[in-house]
Structure 1
Amino acid sequence: MAPRWWLLILCLAGNILHGRAQLDSRGFINIDCGLQGEESYIDDETKLVYVSDAGFTDTGTPYNLSAENFLPWRSRNVRSLRSFPDGVRNCYTLGSLVSGLKYLFRATFLYGNYDGLNKRPASFDLYIGVNFWTAVNISLWGLDQDNRVTVEAIVVVPHNLVQVCLVNTGGGTPFISGLELRPLKMSLYPQATAELGLFLLRRRNFAAINGTIIRFPDDPYDRLWYPRSDATMWAEMTTTERVDDVDGDEFEAPMAVLQTAIKPLNASGSIRFGWEVAPELNNASPGPGYLAVLHLVELELLGGDALRQFNISVNHDESWVPGYTPPGYLRRAYVYNKFTNPSHSSYIVTIKATANSTLPPIISAYELFSIITTTNIGTESQDATAVMAIKAKYGVQKNWMGDPCFPKTMAWDGLNCSYAAANPPGITSINLSFSGLNSDISSSFAHLKALQYLDLSNNNLTGSIPDALSQLPSLTVIDLSGNQLSGSIPSGLLKRIQDGFLVLRHGNNPNLCTDRNSCQLAAKRKSKLAIYVSVPILVIVLIVSVSLLVLFFLRRRNQQQGSMKNRTAVKPQNEEAMSTSYGGDDDSLRLVENRRFTYKELERITNGFDRVLGEGGFGRVYDGFLEDGTQVAVKLRSHSSNQGVKEFLAEAQILTRIHHKNLVSMIGYCKDREYMALVYEYMAQGTLREHIAASGRNGGCLPWRQRLKNALESAQGLEYLHTGCNPPLIHRDVKATNILLNARLEAKIADFGLTKAFDYHNNTHLFTNTLAFTPGYVDPEYQATMQPTTKSDVYSLGVVLLELVTGKPAILSDPEPTSIVQWARQRLARGNMEGVVDARMQGGYDINGVWKVAEIALKCTAQGSAQRPTMADVVAQLQECVELEEGRAPSFHTGGSSGDDNYNAYTSAQSTDVSNNTAFETELRIPTLAADPGPTAR
């Protein structure tokens, strides 16, 4: 079974559990909730030390009972309480436990009109870790003589630290008066296991002396045995003699409980008691059931032919315990039975003498438990430990209470998690932007192995960027902008940035050095400063003058060399050049055979870079015109760009050797000293994603016929990469924002910085150490194996097809983040095409054609690549859909066709922002409901 974690290591700093707040010498924790300050006291009855809850929780407001309820006879540990008006979930952390040990948890609630409203809350939920304990209903539950409600559970804890959480369900403000914990021997209550817990419904002690509650020290485990007696029905029996112990006693009722008992007033009478099934168990999904334990001791010394024998039946079924005879004088005994899958609305236990018995039946006490499940899986251990350390370091004031990821509806603010079946949730995204963080960047971030997105922007973080972040295998975006970081970008992060696998945003950090060479120069200059200040000013001036003179001649020589090359024709290379590793110098550019521009030429054709079309991770895109009037888009690498020479060369080399009507053409490139740029054909209508979302300047809904046409054109472009190139090329970043539309609304595939070669004939798979993808479009098989294939592009195109059909993005955010694949599969499996197709098209389509495209999309997004069609198959099937649609009357794009403000197409680069995305299962499984087998016979 997968490990289960109920919330780990919250007391790392800040709200650390103080020594007084740990277990006492017996292993007990005794918390008086709402007790002010550092107070503690010894309880008059139990002589146990009770402490304030200040060391166990950092939320809520302490209160005392109202004046009219603050009575001198009332137990001191219920005179105060803590109320939780803010947040959905508020928790107490109990530490210093023993992993795998069995514990008794008890919580006490006494309203006492603390808020002056004289209105008890209807209900709120109580959890132990991530497992539901009970719904606390102050209004409906029976109160004891002190007008309080007490709930108790026996569970096995999976770790040395457990949280008890109160959850606001809308029934009123949660509050708590007391919280206690008692360790139990593992041999006690064997029905409580790692998977099942016991929730106490009642514990009754018959014929209790003076009608008192038996607890510690009479019961070493401090169980509460409430008195039960009725002189009109039962006669009481007591003894001061010691009741003998029994080896292997599974329940160990205390001596004071076993020294009293009841019997019917006459020999033919019976003892009866019962309970009603809790409403939550008496429905179509019953809980595991009940456990009933009866404690029986013979307190009379029988002589002669006297015989005490009785049947114990449930709901008149005498098969439970027929013909039971107590084992002997002052010998403790017990009987128990589980009632699984409750099938009755109530249960009545009857103890009645047999026909052979000469004496009436007896009973000393009984316990009744509801069985609860404890199988929920909390956040992965390492992730939980790390994020709690982060919370403690920065004193995060968000609603960071309870388990970070579970349940999903109560995940911590700013966190996204993955929820894979049978595995603990893992943290995939953290957004702590504008959270008032101080100090350096916590090393605990480096332990979040599933983390994809980290946003620490706009805080007051200082110190250097830890290189350990480069070891996080899934991390694709780090935003550190708007802080006070210093030093340089670590080499490990630089390599991942240059390889195109990581986006680092670091703007507005005035002391951060972002260029490795200049950082080294700055360090050298700083180390020599003491020497320079002692040298005569004349020498300094001389050195500076010589340096400027040298730089002048070097710059002039470079300008002369650049002016000699207006158009450079480089000898074409063979197709195998694609497997060459890309370097960072001009030698690698000899593979490129398109026009080479100088920086001065780019300034001229863009009119001094005066019109920005868009901006991305590589840099800004500018509008330009060549000498012959041809309009172009110039993508110029920014000096602060996180993307390096490798991505630049990859895209330039690929665009040089591929030519297809549905692939964006490169006109030329620039590699002039530190300046790098790519010059593309101009795509006037921006991205396909903009037109699907109708977010362009002219708005309007893209008609179905145009969507089909663009789908076919996109597939044709990818088919050329897969079958028309040798070796085949895998795009690896197919998405709606990387499909551009020209002035005639013709679709072309763009952005080839992540494209890799695939040796189809030798079946050689490309293996990468880091995934390159955009969330929502990634092939699950590629994500699992790190081996992209042409079927990876097929999967991504399938997602684009679903976007065209539905008009929705790849990741839907309402009501919670989910993939369009999952969303569409669920609805199409029920034949609900009306709930899937984009309603904005207002029926302007052939329904059979839409169904066919949806079916193609589902095939493309199959979990395994072997079940997906080839891109050639996709092209053939989409061609049929186009032909089917062409039989209809023509339709028109309502948003116009000449807008020129949609230029983000050129800036998609490899910048991936996953701040609003959550991991998801890419294959849908429609559950089938098995018939209820009914109650199990016992």
Structure 2
Amino acid sequence: MADSGTTTPSSDHSVTLTSKTPIFGQKLYVIISITVIIVTLILILISLCIRRSLNTKRRRRMRVKHSSGLLPLVSETVKKDDEDDRTVEIKPIIKVVEGKMVNTSSASNESGTSNASSVDNINMSNLGFGRWYGLSELELATRCFATENVVGEGGYGVVYRGVLRDGSVVAVKNLMNNKGQAEKEFKVEVEAIGKVRHKNLVGLIGFCADGDKRLLVYEYIDNGNLEQWLHGDVGPVSPLTWDIRMKIAIGTAKGLAYLHEGLEPKVVHRDVKSSNILLDRNWNAKVSDFGLAKLLGSEKSYVTTRVMGTFGYVSPDYASTGMLNECSDVYSFGVLLMEIVTGRSPVDYSRAPGEMNLVDWFRGMVASRRGEELLDPKISVQPASRSLKRVLLVCLRCIDMDANKRPKMGQIVHMLEADDFPFRTESRPPRDTATLSSGVDAANKVPSTN
């Protein structure tokens, strides 16, 4: 009986593990194995969930540090791969104030106030758009925008001479905030010439945005503008000799040619005039004031816009249709070139009725073969007849009433520089007159409005 008592439990146990169960008819040891596997998987899933929860809490703590300004937020917007090719993405929630990128997201905290947070200072010169100046720095440079430091004034702002801490002299343009015009011009100039560097364009050094203040900092050109030298009180003999005037005209043409043909998208200046042509001590011309400029992509032949510019310089086709392209600048340059040749303003109501409008008077004088009488009497040494005729013809081609027939600015540069344009040799004077006359005929398709 004792032996039977000791062997029976072992026999019963062996039968129990291998016996079938009611669960799908599976043996007991199979059910136990499946149960162990399921429990293990559940434990693994629980572990993963706990780890994910911890990571989420950690990220939330990091965001708290970000919002307190302890960590930079611009790692995604400033490329770090190439120090010479840093770019900043312009997003609605980011703006720049005094050299700092500021988060202006509309997300609010519990108190309902905006969650604007300051982040890293960024050296804007590395971004290709010049340096950002603080308002206090520019106030110090201009002696709080003192009247004696004013060097220019226009419809959109006042330009001051300023001396920075490092001793460099700059021109500071304080934009007038009339109906948001300051913000518009600020953006236009940054878009148009923020990255542009050309010897015949005024260089934009930096900017300032402080509250509603918008200021632009340019290189300082120390010899005034073309309007002052043409129409100011310079005495009976102008310092602008014929050669100097041609140097100014060619330099201006090169600057405009770069805007039209050397950039993508091209830039249409829209306000080419003598007061916007600055001169250095060597009489090098520098085109300035891009507040009215428009960008024109290669896929567009024109852009329709509100007619703006300076009376006397605006092309008739743009004034009547509002369709703007580089041909409008070419017309304005033609008027400017006439102004350089004659020393007269585009519109002068103090003159006789037939001479008030420079374009109409100019056309009539050339048509009457009185081209030499067009020359500014303050030019002491007369230019060669060949040189004068070449410039007169360029003027007429620029103001052609058919905008499509006007030359490109690059072609104008070649016309003004080429000694053999428009005549091949000096031994063919009859052809000179015939060629010039044909240009006059084309320019006089539309009768005078006076």
Q: Structure 2 length normalisation: TM-score?
A: 0.64
Indicate the larger mover: 844-853 or 748-757.
Answer: 844-853
- 1:584–1:645 contact (8 Å) kept in structure 2: no
1:871 paired with 2:409, answer yes
In structure 1, runs of 5+ residues without a counterpart are 1-568, 885-921, 928-938
Partner of 2:135 in structure 1? 599
Cα separation, 2, equivalents of 1:832 and 1:873: 26
CA contact (8 A) 1:652 1:678 kept: no
Q: Equivalent residue for 2:287?
A: 749
The 2-side partners of 1:784 and 1:619 are apart by 28
Are the counterparts in 1 of residues 237 and 378 from structure 2 also a CA contact under 8 Å? no
How do 1:420-569 and structure 2 match up within 5 A? none
SS at match of 1:725: coil
1:780 equivalent in structure 2: 316
Match of 1:859 among 378, 381, 397: 397
Give the 3-state SS of the residue equivalent to 1:649 in structure 2. helix
CA contact (8 A) 2:241 2:381 kept: no
* 2:256–2:409 Cα contact (<8 Å) kept: yes
What's the counterpart of residue 431 of structure 1? none
Partner of 1:831: 369
Deviation by residue 1:780-838 (Cα, 9 ceiling, x = unmatched): 11122211111111111000110111111111321237421111000100110232111
Does structure 1 residue 705 correspond to structure 2 residue 217?
no
Q: How many Å apart are 1:620 and its aligned residue?
A: 2.5
Pick one of 198, 218, 228 that aligns with 1:680: 218
1:639 Cα shift? 5.8
Distance 1:645 1:790 in 2: 25
**SS of alignment partner, residue 669 of structure 1:** strand
SS at match of 1:812: coil
Q: Secondary structure at the match of 1:648?
A: helix
Moved over 4 A (4+): 583-592, 638-642, 696-699, 881-884
Give the paired residue count. 316
- Which whole-Å CA distance do the structure 2 matches of 1:721 and 1:836 have between them? 30
Distance (whole Å) between structure 2 residues aligned to residue 750 and residue 700 of structure 1 = 23
> Which has a greater percent of helix?
2
One-letter identity of the residue aligned with 1:866: N
Q: Distance in 2 between matches of 1:594 and 1:690?
A: 29
Query: Could you tell me the TM-score, scaled by structure 1's length?
Result: 0.31
Letter of the structure 1 residue corresponding to residue 304 of structure 2: F
Tell me by how many angstroms 1:767 deviates: 1.1
Which residue of 198, 201, 204 corresponds with 1:663? 201
Structure 2: which amino acid aligns with 1:620?
A: V
Q: Check whether the contact 2:236–2:378 (CA below 8 A) recurs between aligned residues.
A: no
2:267 corresponds to 1:732: no
Change (3 A) 1:846 1:697: closer
Equivalent residue in structure 2 for 1:765, among 289, 302, 312: 302
Match of 2:334 in 1: 798
Deviation for aligned residue 1:629: 1.8
Cα distance between partner residues in 1 of 2:304 and 2:225: 30
Confirm whether residue 880 of structure 1 aligns to residue 439 of structure 2.
Answer: no
Which AA in structure 2 matches 1:802? M
Q: CA deviation at 1:870?
A: 0.7
User: 2:380 maps to what in 1?
Assistant: 842
Residues 644/699 of structure 1: CA separation in 2 closer, same or farther (3 Å cut): farther
Shift of 1:638: 4.3
* Letter paired with 2:340: L
**Conservation of the 8 A alpha-carbon contact between 1:592 and 1:652:** no
What corresponds to 1:331 in structure 2? none
In 2, the alpha carbon distance for the partners of 1:782 and 1:926 equals: 16
The aligned residue for residue 32 of structure 1 is none
| Residues 662, 748 of structure 1: 8 Å contact kept | yes
2:420 and 2:215 map into 1 onto residues whose CA distance is 38
Preserved contact between residue 241 and residue 380 of structure 2 (Cα < 8 Å) = no
Q: 2:252, 2:285 within 8 Å by CA — same for their partners in 1?
A: yes
Partner amino acid for 2:139? Answer: E
- Quote the residue 2:174 is aligned against: 636
Letter in 2 for 1:805: V
Q: Cα deviation per residue 1:479-528 (whole Å; 9 max; x = unaligned)? A: xxxxxxxxxxxxxxxxxxxxxxxxxxxxxxxxxxxxxxxxxxxxxxxxxx
Distance change (3 Å), C-alpha of 1:881 and 1:751: farther
**2: CA distance, partners of 1:707 / 1:869:** 21
CA distance in structure 2 between the aligned counterparts of 1:584 and 1:821, rounded to whole angstroms: 46
Which has more strand, going by share of residues?
A: 1
How far the C-alpha of 1:608 sits from its partner, in A, is 3.0
SS at match of 1:633: strand
How far did residue 697 of structure 1 move?
9.8
Among the aligned pairs, what percent are the same residue?
34
Any idea what SS the aligned residue of 2:255 has?
Answer: helix
Is contact 2:397–2:443 with CA below 8 Å preserved after alignment? no
CA contact (8 A) 1:782 1:792 kept: yes
Partner of 2:347: 811
**1:614: how far off?**
2.9
**In the superposition, relative to structure 1, how do residues 606 and 776 fare at CA in structure 2: closer, same or farther (>3 Å)?**
same
Residue by residue, what CA displacement relative to the aligned partner does 1:89-138 show, whole Å, maximum 9, x if unpaired? xxxxxxxxxxxxxxxxxxxxxxxxxxxxxxxxxxxxxxxxxxxxxxxxxx
Alpha carbons of 1:881 and 1:603: their partners in 2 closer, same or farther (altered >3 Å)?
A: farther
Deviation at residue 652 of structure 1 after TM alignment: 2.6
SS of 2:418 mapped into structure 1: helix
Alpha-carbon shift at residue 736 of structure 1 (Å): 0.9
Q: 1:649 aligns with which of 180, 183, 187?
A: 187
Q: 1:826 to 1:699 in 2, by over 3 A?
A: closer
